[in-house]
Every structure is written in C-alpha cells, then in structure tokens.
A and B are shown apart, each in its own frame.
Chain A
Amino acid sequence: MSFLRHRIKKRIAAGARFVRDWALFISIVIAGGVGSSWYMVEAGNRFTTTTVGPWVTWNAVARTDADPYTRAHFAKLGALALSSDMAETYLARTDDDGRYLHSSCDYLVKTTPAPNSWWSLTVYDKDGALIDNTAGRHAYTSETAAVNADGSVSATLARAASPGNWLPTSGAGRLAAVFIKMDYGTATGTGDSGAKNLPVITRGDCR
C-alpha cells in the first residue's frame, strides 16, 4: 500500500515538475517575444529612429516602405503622421539635460531655422492632447513666431504668461514637444540638414 502511495506521489511530483517547466518556458517566451516587440515598437532603435539631443524622429514614418516597428508605433499612437519623405517630425519628452518636460517648470526653446523652410513647434501633454489655456495658444510656426534680431527664434514653455513667443503649459504634468520642419531646398521637401536647426530645450525655474 505504501509502495503504491509512493508511486502516486512520485507521479504527481513529476507531473508538477512538467507543468512548472512548461509554464516557465511559456512565460519566458511570452515575456521575451511580446516584451521585446513592445520595446521596439514603443522606443524604437537606432535603425528605426534618429535621436538628436532630446529630439526623436522615426526615419520611415508614414512611408509606403515603412518597417513593421514604425507602422506599429504610429498605429498604436493613433496619429496621422506626416511622411518623412515630406517633413521631419521630431518629438521631445525631455529637455537637453535629459530631464522630463513638466508643466511645473519653465523652458526656453531656441532654434535658428534654416532659410527656405517651414517649421512648427507645438506643446502637448504626455498623451498628445493639446493643453487647454485661456490664450488658446498651442503652437508657433515659422510664419507666426516672433523672430529675434539675430534670426533665431525663442519660445517659452511656461505656466505663467511670458513675453515673446509663449506656449502655456497650464497644469498638464508631463509634456511632449513636437517640432516639424520642411526644408524646401530639395525636390522632396526635406533637406539634408539632418540634425541642424533643431531647437535646444533649456530648463528654467521650477515651482
């Protein structure tokens, strides 16, 4: 009788080991497969994105030959992106020192735009929603921003009203800035300026 009980216990233990091993195997596969895919879709890599300071752009955004990671990223984002054949769209979630943009701080965004180009700077909350403000101001473009005497353009991201090009951030929490530029120097609409003329984001006072 005890021999039979011993055999049954051994079989149950073997079955439990079998189930545990398979569960662990499947967990590792799911975590590795889905996790690595999620990371590549969310953050990209050096083959799919270009990072310049705090600015990140997806190289093949909205192109017919876009890679699967880029397609999945923008499908998940739910945005109608401009094709990288026509415009360069950069997203920044941090300042130039790598600290997250936050509405509790003021930021100076400064750039010297290329001649013969159209650009826009828009500030959103972290989910891409425009920030409600009484001024109804969310973006500046090359046509609407006040230009400094030296040809550069400065914009302030701040809660409180600021002279010059002010983009209100109200109490949005974490922020995302989008810089779009179209250079007309080439037939495709995008020049070869690459990283040139991207704004520098400097943090000011925080409350």
Chain B
Amino acid sequence: MIAALGRYLATNAPHLPAALFAIIILHICTTFAAPGLTTSGAYDRLAPTLPLHEMRVLPAVAANSQPLPFLGPDARLAACRFDTREKNVVITASLPAPGWTLALYGPDGGILYAAAGEPAGRLDIAVLLVPEVEQFGGMTPEARGERTRNEPLLRVPVSRGIAVLRAPDYGLAYKAPSDAELKRAVCAPRQR
C-alpha cells in the first residue's frame, strides 16, 4: 500500500503542489467552519434552558446537574440569554471582588466581552448591547430627542448570545452574599 502510494506520488510529482494547495485550503475552511458546525456547543446546550432577557441564577453544579462539560462546582453562575434583533439589551452587574467575572458569549462559543473583578474594590458594570447595524447606521439617542445614557456602548458583533456572571467559591460563609449579588444582576430589554 505504502509502496503503491510512493509510486503514485513519484509519477504524479507535478501534481503535488496542487495537492498541497488543496490541503491548505481545506484545512483553513475546516478550521473556520468548525465552530459553526458544532451542534453541542455551550450556547446550544445552555440556551434552551434560559429564558430570554432574564438573569437567572443557575443551580449549584453537581454530578447530576452539570449543564456543560468541564463546568465545576468551584463557582456559582448566573446567566442570561439575550437577543438584540428586536430590542437593545441592558446588562448591569457588580463584580465585588477578584475572581468575579462577567462574560458575553456568542452562539459559536466565542467571547464578545469580558470583565473581571479587581483587587481595588467593587466594579459596577452597565452595558448596552445593540446589534452591530444600529451602532453604525442608527440614530444616536440625542438625535432621537432622548436623554443621553451613560452606559458604555458595547458593540456586539452577533445578535444573540449568553451573558454569564461568575462568582468564585469563597467558601460557605460567602455563599449567601454571593448568591444575593448574583440575583441583583439585571439583564433586560430596552426599547430603541
């Protein structure tokens, strides 16, 4: 078999550059297409369990309640499924200590935005999620006669995704305050 392949390659040496080129093209196409072709990605698994535009504290992760692979009980999570195609979405959350994170994931699992708690103190975050088209072509609030809003405008390159607020496990004594902080996070639609 190997000898036959060797003979084939020897007789078709002029075709090798074409084969190499085709391999490289296929390699690139396969790699770029892989996230979109995955049907068991984090978004696909988590999104059906989450209501739209509502931050929900997920149950403590355990062996029988583990929504995603490699998701451990070392953190408590609150998550919100958002969709900016109809309405803008406002997400507000507090990151009271280091280890706390807020991350927005797109349907392909890619990250859109991330923020982490700082040693210096509490970090309050308020972001307005808008579809990309509005950011470029839409009218500003001032042009529409509305008051200027102070939330930093976050550009979202896709219209759907999941916001995940993560509270690291600081032990039993911190469980109640952590849960309360998670529940305070808001994910709500806002009219354009």
Contacts and interface: CB of A to CB of B under 8 A. Distances in A.
Interface string B18-59: 010011111101111011001011101110000000000000
A179 B140 CA distance: 45
A127 B66 CA distance: 12
Contacts, number: 191
B62 A136 contact: yes
B181 interface: no
Interface string A153-170: 000000000000000000
B12 interface: yes
A127 B69 CA distance: 7
A71 B33 CA distance: 10
A22 to B, nearest CB: 10
A61 to B, nearest CB: 9
A28 B75 CA distance: 46
Interface in B50-95: 61-64, 66, 68-75
Contacts of B69: 77-79, 124, 127-129
A66 B111 contact: yes
Interface residues of B, number: 61
A193 interface: no
A143 B34 CA distance: 38
B61 A130 contact: yes
B42 A80 contact: yes
- Mostly, the B contact residues are mixed
Interface in A66-124: 66, 68-69, 71-72, 74-80, 82-83, 85-87, 91, 116, 118, 120, 122, 124
A178 B110 contact: no
A33 B26 contact: yes
A20 to B, nearest CB: 9
A28 B19 contact: yes
B110 A37 contact: no
Interface in A1-52: 21, 24-25, 28-30, 32-34, 36-38, 40-41
A141 B19 contact: no
B103 A37 contact: no
A109 B105 CA distance: 32
Nearest to A40: B31
A132 B35 contact: no
B169 A82 contact: no
A138 B169 CA distance: 13
A69 B34 CA distance: 9
A33 B23 contact: yes
A135 B103 CA distance: 31
Given A29-B19, A129-B63, A130-B62, A34 B30 contact: yes
Interface of B: 5, 8, 12, 15, 19, 22-27, 29-32, 34-35, 38, 40-42, 44-46, 61-64, 66, 68-75, 98-99, 101, 103, 105, 108-114, 116-119, 162, 164, 166, 168-171, 174
5 contacts: A32-B23, A68-B31, A82-B103, A129-B63, A139-B74
